[in-house]
Chains A and B, each alone.
Chain A
Amino acid sequence: DGGITQSPKYLFRKEGQNVTLSCEQNLNHDAMYWYRQDPGQGLRLIYYSQIVNDFQKGDIAEGYSVSREKKESFPLTVTSAQKNPTAFYLCASSMGQATDTQYFGPGTRLTVL
């Protein structure tokens, strides 16, 4: 089955901890994206990558970091510098052109204890 997987589904973080969210795709897509969703806020872009070993900041990159060492993988680290990390995190991928659809993984719900 082709698709996008995210793990874990639920994640709990203590104050001051860094946590890493996994995103893997086997769709052979060039572009990958990380979004954050808060209630009533819609989706906001954190980081995106259009090619391996390259990525760009989105609208709310502060307190987050990413890497793109493999085409299939785009992990997101939520650092202790992110003051309000409790949210629903969504990973997406696309072929990379402006007209291409972005497909979403199932999401990770992060809660700060």
Chain B
Amino acid sequence: QKEVEQNSGPLSVPEGAIASLNCTYSDRVSQSFFWYRQYSGKSPELIMSIYSNGDKEDGRFTAQLNKASQYVSLLIRDSQPSDSATYLCAVNGGNNRLAFGKGNQVVVIP
């Protein structure tokens, strides 16, 4: 069973600060990595995808991938109240199936 772990507990950050989310995965052959944002009662929407080691930036979001250490992270800069949501880490091991972590709730405090 491929596992994706996200550190538990809600993350509270003041408006304008950086939110940092981490995700580790167990399958060394994983090829593609995704961060989804899910608002309460809604379906997940893609924030970032990353496939190669290093950083990938898109607006206020930066994804970081380290395949040797088997982790992927998401940074949210200049956090806004609209960023308050649950963030899901998903990993594709090459069999066209995504394994999801349980998610991290982010609360941005105005």
Which residue numbers of A lie inside 8 Å of B, CB to CB? 31, 33, 35, 40-45, 48, 50, 58-59, 90, 94, 96-99, 101-107
Contact = CB atoms under 8 A, between A and B. Distances in A.
Nearest to B49: A101
B47 to A, nearest CB: 11
The dominant DSSP class at the B interface is loop
Contacts of A41: 102
Contact of A90 (B34, B43, B51, B95): B43
Interface of B: 1, 31-32, 34, 42-46, 49, 51, 88, 90, 92-98, 100-103
Nearest to B102: A42
Contacts of A98: 31-32, 92-96
Nearest to A102: B98
Given A101-B49, A107-B42, A107-B43, 9 more contacts: A31-B96, A33-B98, A42-B101, A43-B44, A43-B90, A48-B96, A99-B92, A103-B46, A106-B42
A99 B31 contact: yes
Contacts, number: 55
A106 B43 contact: yes
Contacts of B102: 40-42
A50 to B, nearest CB: 6
Contacts of A96: 96
Contacts of A58: 97
B88 A43 contact: yes
A91 to B, nearest CB: 9
A4 to B, nearest CB: 9
B43 A99 contact: no
Nearest to B93: A98
A101 B96 CA distance: 10
Given A98-B94, A98-B95, A101-B34, A42 B43 contact: no
A48 B97 contact: yes
